[in-house]
Amino acid sequence: MLSGTQRVVGAGQVDHEPSACGDYFLTIFNSGVPEECGRRPMEAGRFGSNEAAYEAAIRHCAGSILPMHLGEKLVNKIFGRSIQSHAAGLLAAMHCEAQIGMGDPPTLAVLQQKIGSPRTLASFFALLKLAGYIRAVPVEGDRRQKVLEPTHLLLDGLKTWLAHHLRCAEIAAVGLPAPGLADRLLSNADYGVRYVAGTRMLVARTREEMARDHAWAWFDRYDCGDRIALALARSHYDPVARDAREDWFPFEARSLASALGISHSHIRNVLNGAEARGYLSQDRGRGRLRLEQPFLDDMRTWHLTFWGWLAEVAHGAEQDPEAEGSR
């Protein structure tokens, strides 16, 4: 778990400085979460889910997360790089912390300090504002200061993305406190705010993990790299498209590029790089790919780890249902 004594030591480094909300969630996690959900990065993926449950979960993941990005060229342009997604996620988490009185609302300066790349983030948040995903609100008593607030476009999109992953976590049986949390996240406003507030540690851990050397982190460093990797996973686990004897499957890089709004050459470069690292093999003459075991193992470990972290957030977001329903 994150230590209450760790602090930000410089711009661009992982945000380990806990807010009051962070301490609140850590207290609940340490007292109520199953032990296996509290593992450190890339360890939670070693528990629990059997292979059949994992395959069902990753198939659902690819079939639900990837379509959120297909045909959404503007979304992929705005959120195609991981630093942008992490910054938007941190903004949403800090906003929800403030909503429940457990932290300060986000400002551009604070987000730049915690994520780094000040110029990139300034341009990114200006684009988010222009596209209607956030608004800048003057601080009462000091109109020169402005806090950044996510609009329903950003919050609804984030909650939908989290809900898809919560369904995956339920399928994979990684220790959620109750069934049906994905629907609850989308339908119960109070629970939604508490859950998103708890994802601040999710952003920190994900940034930390994506700085490591494994297959999923390697894909994530490229524009839309996670979407390319999900498309590979979807094809690999499709029993109709795959040659079960050899695990080869057809892969239309050009059509995927068109759907994501990125260049065909970019996808080809990613695939060639992945092949050089032993993550996949290409049969160029027949337009086929095969995922190799290092990629499959890292993908499994990463997703079970990530879904385990979602379970931690879910335990922290629990509250007396009667009190919740009375609001």
State what percent of residues in the chain have pLDDT above 90: 65
User: For 3-17, 90-104, 279-293, which range has the lowest pLDDT when averaged over its residues?
Assistant: 3-17
What is the rounded average pLDDT of the residues 5-20?
A: 38
Task: Give me the long-range contacts of 29-32 (CB less than 8 A, separation at least 24).
Answer: 29/1, 29/312, 29/315, 29/316, 30/1, 32/177, 32/315, 32/318
Burial grade of 17 (CB within 10 A; 0-12, 13-18, 19 or more):
middle
SS (H, E, C) 119-158: HHHHHHHHHHHHHCCEEEEEECCEEEEEEEEECHHHHHHH
Look at residue 196 in the predicted model and tell me its pLDDT: 97
CA 253/CA 231 separation, integer angstroms: 10
pLDDT tens per residue across span 208-217 = 999 999 999 9
CA 102/CA 194 separation, integer angstroms: 10
Q: Which has more confidence, 22 or 214?
A: 214
Look at residue 43 in the predicted model and tell me its pLDDT: 53
pLDDT tens per residue across span 152-203 = 999 999 999 999 999 999 999 998 999 999 999 999 999 999 999 999 999 9
CA 53/CA 2 separation, integer angstroms: 29
Residue 246: other Cβ atoms inside 10 A: 10
Q: Does the model's pTM come out above 0.85?
A: no
Q: Confidence class of residue 93 from pLDDT cuts 50, 70 and 90?
A: very high
CA 169/CA 308 separation, integer angstroms: 7
Q: Confidence class of residue 74 from pLDDT cuts 50, 70 and 90?
A: confident
Report the SS3 class of residue 250: strand
Establish how many alpha carbons lie within 13 A of residue 211's alpha carbon, considering only the half-sphere containing its beta carbon. 11
Look at residue 3 in the predicted model and tell me its pLDDT: 32
CA distance readout (Å), 125 to 79, 206, 319 = 11, 21, 33
Look at residue 37 in the predicted model and tell me its pLDDT: 40
CA 166/CA 211 separation, integer angstroms: 24
Q: Confidence class of residue 49 from pLDDT cuts 50, 70 and 90?
A: low
CA 39/CA 305 separation, integer angstroms: 8
Which has the closest alpha carbon to 90: 3, 179, 17, 170?
17
Residue 198: other Cβ atoms inside 10 A: 28
What is the rounded average pLDDT of the residues 232-241?
A: 87
What is the rounded average pLDDT of the residues 102-120?
A: 90
How are strands ordered across the β-sheet holding 249-250?
249-250, 288-291, 280-283
Look at residue 279 in the predicted model and tell me its pLDDT: 97
Look at residue 266 in the predicted model and tell me its pLDDT: 96
Establish how many alpha carbons lie within 13 A of residue 145's alpha carbon, considering only the half-sphere containing its beta carbon. 10
**Angle at 212 (CA atoms; ends 208, 216), nearest 5 degrees:** 100
Look at residue 139 in the predicted model and tell me its pLDDT: 81
Q: Which has more confidence, 64 or 28?
A: 64
Task: Please name the helix (run of DSSP H) or strand (run of DSSP E) that holds residue 52, with its range, or none.
Answer: helix 51-65
CA 126/CA 102 separation, integer angstroms: 27
State what percent of residues in the chain have pLDDT above 70: 80
**Residue 50, φ and ψ in degrees, nearest 5:** -80, 170
Look at residue 111 in the predicted model and tell me its pLDDT: 93
Look at residue 116 in the predicted model and tell me its pLDDT: 86
What is the rounded average pLDDT of the residues 266-275?
A: 97
